[in-house]
Structure formats: structure tokens, C-alpha cells
């Protein structure tokens, strides 16, 4: 991992430039097709990033699916999901939030033992209420086109060791108040979900990889209530306003323990802000491709530490949407540690740094990886989102 040398306090800061996005651009999200044509592209003959090269180069990956759990990097490296459990195959796209049937996604997700969940065929799952995912679960969509869409979506609450891979989560709606089963032994009253694609509460050791996320009622990924040890990688984000929130509120100081790696993602067309927005804690934002945000790309509000490394920032032609960064505060932010190292800025994009001293991620040897050159990021993120993996 590249490191930063000791830096002097920065005495000069560029002015903040933020515009309000065109509302027509946001409303346009709902008129677009559910799954864009990028899913039809071939994943072959493209340079692989350090995560993908771990498993995609193995021709027998389908007969050894659980080896995927060894391939994460960053703070979520230790997420093992259902590595040591049985394979559970989803055969039925129906849903019952209280008494789920065997063969459905919810039935597998609530089990207490480790499970590696796969899908028998292509399916669209419209949940009747939020899906509560239990600890030690992997939801692995490789080999099928799996969509969770047009209803409430995924909640990860008070659990650990969850992997979500290769699924499309889009057009999520708020869940209704009512009873929802979270384990085989427990059915509890839920007050209703907000309409996020993935909501993470008080959970740890999580990895979200190669998913497609778009057009939800609230956020695409929310990480709150002292969740930590998370990697968000190789995902394709598009057609949404508030993309990724790290931190519950500016008053919830328990989120200071939060450590999140955001790597190799494609932040594509029609995104407005929060890629991510960080309230507290630490975010390593590395080797992502940002394409014409409508307001800003990376933001924060409560003295977070943000290390932006080797990203590829392409600004739009809007002269008021060139700045990568935004501080959501009326207080003095000059001491906040926000750094850029090896980023590439195109079409007038620029990053406003602040603070002093090193902010290199303190990864363990297992978590650590070498950031690629920013110029290679379009190739390394070319296959972001679910892959057309053929099961041999």
C-alpha cells in the first residue's frame, strides 16, 4: 500500500462550489430501463483488479464457489459469509415475510447456520417486506440474472459475516410496519424500512461486491449505528440521488469506529451526491470511476477521515459541478483529514484537501492491497456490477 509522508498544514483552500442538480435529471431516473445494457457485455479479455483476479481466473470457480470468500480486500477482508456452510439453492422467487417457504431467498437468509445461497435460474424477487439477513450468509448471484426489485429490499442488522455478490437491487420501496421473521426462532414487529437498497445497522465484517444498484426511494447503501469492517467493491451505481451514506447522524458519535473500503466501483450516469458521504470514522476511497456527478462526489459532515487514492474523476460540463468534495458543515473544517493521492482529474474536476499528518489506512497485512494507477481504473472497473458468469 502506498503511504503518505508527513504533510504540513495546508494553508490554502479552494472555495466550495456546489450547485443544485437539475430536477428533470433526477426525475428521468424512473423512465429508464430496469437493467441497463451493460449487463450484456462480456467480462472476458479485460484487465482484472486484485479482487477479480483472485477468483475469475479460476476456470473451476463454479465448483468451488465458497473460495470467493478469500478474495476481499480492505476493511471487509475478514467477511467469510457462508464459507463454512452448505450450499442452499433458491428455486422459488415468491416471498412470505412471516413464514417463508423452503426454496425461497428469505428462508435461506434467516437460517441460523452458515449458508452459501445460490440461484437455480434467472429470477426477479419482489419482496413483500424488508429481507432480514442473518449472520454467516453469502447471497451469490453468479450464473443467473437475479434481481431484487420493486418492493422493500435488504436489511443487515445486528449481524456479522455477510457477503452479497452478483445481484441487481433496484427500484426499492419502503417497507410497511408489520411482523417480519429475522431468524428461524424470531418474528418481530418492524416499523417499516425507508426504501434503501441495502441498509446496514450495527453490523460488521461485510462485503458487497459486483452488485447493480439504482433508483431506490431512499439511499442505495446506508451504513449506520457503529457498523464497521466493510468493503464495498466492484458495484455499478446509476440513476440515483443520494448514493451511499456512512454514519447515522452528526450526533451519533458511536460511528467513530466505522472503517469502510470503497474500491473498484463504477459511479456511472445520473448520480447526484454521496459517493460516499461520511459523517464519522474512516473511508478509504480507492480506484473508483466517477462519471459526471450532478452535485458532488465525496462529502462529509462530522470530521471524518477520507483518503481518496487512485480514483478516476470525470466532471460534467456544468461549471458549477466540478468539485469532487463537499463539507456539509458551518464549522471550520480545515483540520479534517481529507487527502488525495494519485487521483486523476478530468474535465476540470478538482479535490479540496484539508488537515495534516498521515491518513493512510492502517490495514492488516491480509487486508492490504496496492492501489493501481488511476489511468487504469476504467479498465479495472469495466466489469463493475453483476457478471455474465457461465456455469460450466
Residues with a catalytic annotation lie at 274
Is the CB of residue 2 less than 8 Å from the CB of residue 342? yes
Q: How many residues does the chain have?
A: 392
Is the CB of residue 263 less than 8 Å from the CB of residue 231? yes
Distance (Å, rounded) from C-alpha 94 to C-alpha 124?
Answer: 9
Strand order from edge to edge, sheet including 244-246: 131-132, 154-157, 198-201, 221-224, 244-246, 277-278, 298-300, 325-327
| Per-residue CA distances from 106 to 128, 200, 209, 305 (Å) | 11, 17, 20, 36
**3-state SS, residue 64:** helix
Distance (Å, rounded) from C-alpha 243 to C-alpha 277?
Answer: 8
What are 129's three cell numbers? 417486506
Is the CB of residue 203 less than 8 Å from the CB of residue 162? yes
What are 92's three cell numbers? 422459488
CB burial class (10 A; 0-12, 13-18, 19+) of residue 281? buried
Amino acid at each position: 500500500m502506498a503511504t503518505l509522508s508527513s504533510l504540513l498544514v495546508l494553508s490554502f483552500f479552494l472555495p466550495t462550489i456546489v450547485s443544485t442538480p437539475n430536477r428533470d435529471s433526477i426525475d428521468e431516473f424512473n423512465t429508464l430501463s430496469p437493467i441497463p445494457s451493460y449487463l450484456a457485455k462480456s467480462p472476458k479479455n479485460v484487465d482484472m483488479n486484485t479482487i477479480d483476479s483472485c477468483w475469475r481466473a479460476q476456470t473451476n470457480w463454479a465448483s468451488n464457489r465458497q473460495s470467493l470468500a478469500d478474495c476481499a480486500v480492505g476493511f471487509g477482508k475478514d467477511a467469510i459469509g457462508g464459507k463454512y456452510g452448505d450450499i442452499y439453492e433458491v428455486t422459488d422467487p415468491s416471498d412470505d415475510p412471516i413464514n417463508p417457504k423452503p426454496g425461497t431467498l428469505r428462508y435461506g437468509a434467516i437460517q441460523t447456520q452458515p449458508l452459501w445461497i445460490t440461484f437455480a435460474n434467472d429470477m426477479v424477487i419482489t419482496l413483500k417486506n424488508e429481507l432480514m439477513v442473518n449472520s454467516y450468509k453469502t447471497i451469490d448471484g453468479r450464473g443467473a440474472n437475479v434481481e431484487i426489485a420493486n418492493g422493500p429490499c435488504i436489511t443487515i442488522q445486528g449481524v456479522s459475516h455477510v457477503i452479497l455478490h452478483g445481484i441487481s437491487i433496484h427500484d426499492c420501496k419502503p417497507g410497511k410496519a408489520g411482523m417480519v421473521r429475522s431468524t428461524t426462532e424470531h418474528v418481530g414487529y418492524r416499523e417499516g424500512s425507508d426504501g434503501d437498497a441495502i441498509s446496514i445497522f450495527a453490523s460488521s465484517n461485510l462485503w458487497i461486491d459486483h452488485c447493480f444498484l439504482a433508483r431506490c426511494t431512499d439511499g442505495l447503501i446506508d451504513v449506520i449505528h457503529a457498523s464497521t469492517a466493510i468493503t464495498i467493491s466492484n458495484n455499478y451505481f446509476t440513476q440515483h440521488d443520494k448514493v451511499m451514506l456512512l454514519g447515522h447522524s452528526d450526533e451519533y458519535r458511536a460511528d467513530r469506529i466505522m472503517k469502510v473500503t470503497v474500491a473498484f466501483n463504477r459511479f456511472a450516469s445520473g448520480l447526484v451526491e454521496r459517493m460516499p458521504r461520511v459523517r464519522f470514522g474512516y473511508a478509504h476511497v480507492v480506484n473508483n470511476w466517477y462519471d459526471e456527478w450532478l452535485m458532488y462526489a465525496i462529502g462529509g459532515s462530522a470530521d471524518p477521515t477520507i483518503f481518496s487514492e487512485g480514483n478516476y474523476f470525470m466532471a460534467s460540463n456544468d461549471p458549477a459541478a466540478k468539485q469532487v468534495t463537499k463539507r456539509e458543515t458551518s464549522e471550520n473544517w480545515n483540520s479534517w483529514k481529507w487527502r488525495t493521492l494519485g487521483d486523476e482529474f478530468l474535465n476540470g474536476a478538482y479535490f479540496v484537501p484539508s488537515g495534516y499528518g498521515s491518513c493512510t489506512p492502517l490495514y492488516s497485512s491480509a487486508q492490504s492491497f496496492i492501489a493501481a494507477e488511476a489511468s487504469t481504473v476504467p479498465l479495472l472497473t469495466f466489469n463493475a456490477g453483476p457478471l455474465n458468469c457461465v456455469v460450466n
